[in-house]
Amino acid sequence: MAHDSLNGQAPARRLSWNDPDVRSVVYQIVALGLVGLVAWFLISNTLHNLSSRNIASGFGFLDREAGFAIGEGPIDFAPHNTYARAVLVGLLNTLRVAVIGIVLATLLGTIVGIARLSKNWLIAKLSLFYVETIRNVPLLLQLFFWYAVITETMPGPRQALHPLPGVFISNRGVKLPVPADHFAFDLAGVAFLIGLVLSVLVSNWAKRRQDATGQSFPVWSTCIALILGLPIFGWLIGGAPLEFDIPKLRGFNFTGGVTLTPEFAALLFGLVVYTGAFIAEVVRSGIEAVSHGQTEAAAALGLRRGQILRLVVLPQALRVIIPPMTSQYLNLTKNSSLAVAIGYPDIVSVANTAINQTGQAIEGILIIMAVYLTFSLSISLFMNWYNKHIALVER
Amino acid sequence: MASVSESLPPPSSTTGPIAWVRERLFSSPLNAVLTILAVWLLVMIIPALIEWGLVQAHFTAATSAECRGHPGACWAFIGEKYRFILFGLYPYDEQWRPLLAVLVLIGLIVATCMPLFWKPRLIVIWAVGLVVVGVLMWGGVFGLTYVEDTNWGGLPLTLILATFGIAVAFPLGLLLALGRRSRMPAIKTLCIIYIELIRGVPLISLLFMSSVMLPLFLPEGFSIDKLLRAQIAIILFSAAYIAEVVRGGLQAIPKGQYEGADSLGLSYAQKMGFVILPQALKIVIPPMVSLFISAFKDTSLVVIIGIYDLMQSTKASLNDPAWRGFSIEAYIFIAAIYFVFCFSMSKYSRNLEERLATGHKR
């Protein structure tokens, strides 16, 4: 083992406490042993308690009839459906609020973050006020507040607020008009996706061509034309329908249009406003992290303002922005679990109902944790990879 | 009279309020439009808020009937309920005790914020402070009547959950951070699994776990009360986040410091205790403060498992049938309390950041 040392006769390896390798092996065995002991203690207690309380463990309950109704969801659910379907509805509800929330919070946060750096005194102070107020009050309190605002202070459907044509706000939630069910709108949606894919391809191609030949290509205008033009083209081909499904007051409530329930509206609004304030700070610090010399040097090279922002400031700011931004997205997704407090049927709320009805506490909590861990670990793995990718290497 | 070298005043268009307005509000067409939009928004909102909150509001009312049917806010609700909101179910005549406990806790936090106390004796101060808080809240000694912790509530409970949570989570988080940076693969893996597992799930799921699963984990006949279970969940949760913050500090210490300590022949404990941690912890004070702020805000989640913190006592005060329907006023009141705590801490953290940032600013 040690024959490769210089004089050919290395000191024989003795088991000694002074050998760091020996110590480290001992420490690790002790640590693993302790953890194993604690785990064994907890598991054996749990098994004993379960058997003495006659709780059958396992996920068999998922196939049973749920017997409770779920207020809303992207797929239909009735009380005679199974628990498995209820969990699926909860999962989809979580995803729905998280995805819409992330998109809106990014928009809001970016605008406010840039506004914080605005030369306009009033705009800068207003955004500072927004950020400081929102960040220093618990999200749960804000959710309760918005929920109370919607359900207690908004008028009934008959006197609903009517801020924009086709939009009604009442204590039953928010009503929005949607495009009527028509082939042309489907076509426009597909065309939008195609436009997105083509834009990515075009910008990649343009970058490669510029690297190779030095010729630039009007990427931005092409992409905007693709993303906006293709859907309009699809809509025109489909016959350019102008029908919208507009909510109308019938009797005591609205028909038509799409409804945001008070729970969904309060949750989405609360999450977007809260996370937006944090994203604003992320964006601001990212832009401020790019030293002024960079901007000046770029200007000295003769780049235009837009080019400075796109080619010099943004790439460096993004290095600072993206990791905390990703963790804000994660926070938003995890915070959507507060839905349970105001009664929006997300995964936590559905699993909680299932726990109360069946007594399958361990399984219910395992489902909740598995769902969030899947979200988080996938994003966390990506972040760690990205962090390694951009970190400055020291030696 | 005037000497030749005396300088002329700057042109009037570049100083004074008009120049300020032109420079800061109307420097470009876009800025002018934004300013006008913002002013319009403020004109729409602020007078309406003043009308609701001050002009039309009721500050005193014997019964809720006086408030009802009026368009303004009903601050009389707060006047009626503030003792309940602040102290929950704690016996009414004994409420000076939680008040004193709150003051002690605030004193502890303030002392921790002062560099004067950043010495080992801080640990002694904390130990004494927490014992005093415990004596005040529980009683049972020195002629104080015993109050069960199921009757604790409101602001003291929120503060206890947050300060006690962080105080216990800090050493745990420190160990986890050192473990994650360790060269021993088994210990490193265990720490990574713990940290990533906890950070991957929402606090609510841990609170649920503490309220429904923890009783299953323990031997039969052995039970922990609900408050302590929630406190354990908060500690386990915060420890993972503290570990990540401390790890950030450890990573920021140059390799030469580690190597220097090694070459002096220091043991691992000496190296960490005398060389690395003092530097690393100094770097992470600002993020630690923001962690404390979010822990403080997160304690409100214990509402979901029915513990009487500030939020829950507020919700309970809203259930009084005689005073229904004033939730907006109540929420604004406790939002102000949370805001005062969190905002002063974040202001402190910013000051500290400026004081600690030596020599990197232009």
Q: Which of B35, B187, B339 sits opposite A27 (nearest CB)?
A: B187
Record: contact B35-A137, CB cut-off 8 A: no
**Reduced to 3 DSSP states, what percent helix, strand and coil does chain B have, rounded to the nearest 5?**
75, 0, 25
Q: What is the DSSP letter of B300?
A: G
- For residue B300, the chain A residues in CB contact (below 8 A) are 138, 140-141
Residue pair B151/B227 in contact (Cβ under 8 Å)? The answer is no
Dihedral over alpha carbons B181, B183, B184, B189 (to 10 degrees): 40
Give the lowest-confidence range in A99-113, A227-241, A245-259, A307-321. A245-259
B279-312 pLDDT, tens digit per residue, is 888 888 888 888 888 888 988 888 888 888 888 8
Burial class for A213, CB neighbours closer than 10 Å (0-12, 13-18, 19+)? exposed
A114: tokens are 């840039």
User: Angle at CA B317, nearest 5°, toward B306 and A142?
Assistant: 70
**What is the distance between the alpha carbons of residues B276 and B270, in angstroms, rounded to a whole number?**
9
A372-389 pLDDT, tens digit per residue, is 988 887 777 777 777 666
Q: Which CATH architecture has domain B64-90+147-355?
A: Orthogonal Bundle (1.10)
At a CB cut-off of 8 Å and minimum separation 6, what does B41 contact? none
Q: Which residue of B has its CA nearest to A355?
A: B212
Please count the CA atoms within 13 angstroms of the CA of A298 that sit on its side-chain side: 19
| Chain-centroid distance, C-alpha B201 | 21
Q: How big is chain B by its Cα radius of gyration, in Å?
A: 27
Handedness of CA A214, A215, A219, A220 (dihedral sign): positive
**What is the distance between the alpha carbons of residues B126 and B123, in angstroms, rounded to a whole number?**
5
List the one residue out of A25, A43, A45 whose CA is nearest residue A35: A43
**Reduced to 3 DSSP states, what percent helix, strand and coil does chain A have, rounded to the nearest 5?**
70, 5, 25
CA distances from B277 to A9, B79, B178, B246, B273 (A): 41, 49, 10, 9, 6
Domain boundaries, given as residue ranges, for chain B: 64-90+147-355
- For residue A138, the chain B residues in CB contact (below 8 A) are 297-298, 300, 311, 338
Handedness of CA A206, A210, A212, A214 (dihedral sign): positive
Q: What is the pLDDT along chain B (362 residues), one digit of tens a residue?
A: 555 677 888 777 777 777 778 777 777 778 788 888 888 988 888 888 888 877 777 777 777 777 777 777 778 777 777 877 888 777 777 778 888 888 888 888 888 777 777 777 878 888 888 888 888 878 777 777 777 777 787 888 888 888 888 888 999 999 999 998 888 888 889 998 999 889 888 998 898 888 888 877 877 777 778 888 889 999 999 999 999 899 888 888 888 888 999 999 898 889 888 888 888 888 888 888 888 888 889 888 888 888 888 888 888 888 877 777 788 888 898 999 999 989 988 888 888 777 776 544 44
**What is the distance between the alpha carbons of residues A390 and A323, in angstroms, rounded to a whole number?**
10
The H or E element spanning position A258 is: strand A258-260
Record: contact A136-B342, CB cut-off 8 A: yes
Instruction: Assign domain A83-180+243-390 to its CATH superfamily.
Output: MetI-like (1.10.3720.10)
The H or E element spanning position B20 is: helix B16-24
**What is the distance between the alpha carbons of residues A53 and A56, in angstroms, rounded to a whole number?**
9
**What is the distance between the alpha carbons of residues A151 and A262, in angstroms, rounded to a whole number?**
7
User: Angle at CA A121, nearest 5°, toward A120 and A125?
Assistant: 120
Complex confidence, ipTM = 0.86
Record: contact B338-A138, CB cut-off 8 A: yes
**What is the distance between the alpha carbons of residues B261 and B280, in angstroms, rounded to a whole number?**
14
| Nearest CA distance, B212 vs chain A (angstrom) | 6
| Nearest CA distance, B6 vs chain A (angstrom) | 33
Domain boundaries, given as residue ranges, for chain A: 14-52, 83-180+243-390
